[in-house]
Amino acid sequence: MSSVTKRLLKELQDIRKDLTDELLSLGPVDDEDLLQWHAVLRGPQETPYQGGLFRLRIDIPEEYPIKPPTLTFATPVCHPNVHFETGEICLDILKSQWSPAWTLTSTCLAVHVLLANPEPSSPLNCDAANLLRCGDFVGYSSLVSMYTHIFAGQIQ
Q: How far apart are CA 31 and CA 71, in angstroms?
A: 19
How is the chain split into domains, by residue range? 3-151
| Residue scoring higher pLDDT (1 or 50) | 50
> How confident is the model at residue 153, as a pLDDT?
84
- Domain 3-151 CATH class label: alpha beta
| pLDDT exceeds cutoff 90 at 88 | yes
- Mean pLDDT over residues 11-25, rounded? 88
> How confident is the model at residue 16, as a pLDDT?
78
> How confident is the model at residue 154, as a pLDDT?
53
Total-model pTM: 0.94
Residue 44 DSSP code: P
Largest Cα–Cα distance of the chain, in whole Å?
Answer: 53
- pLDDT digit string (tens) for 22-77? 999 999 999 889 999 999 999 999 999 999 999 999 999 999 999 999 999 999 99
Residues classed as catalytic: 90
Shortest CA distance to 69 belongs to which of 55, 56, 81?
56
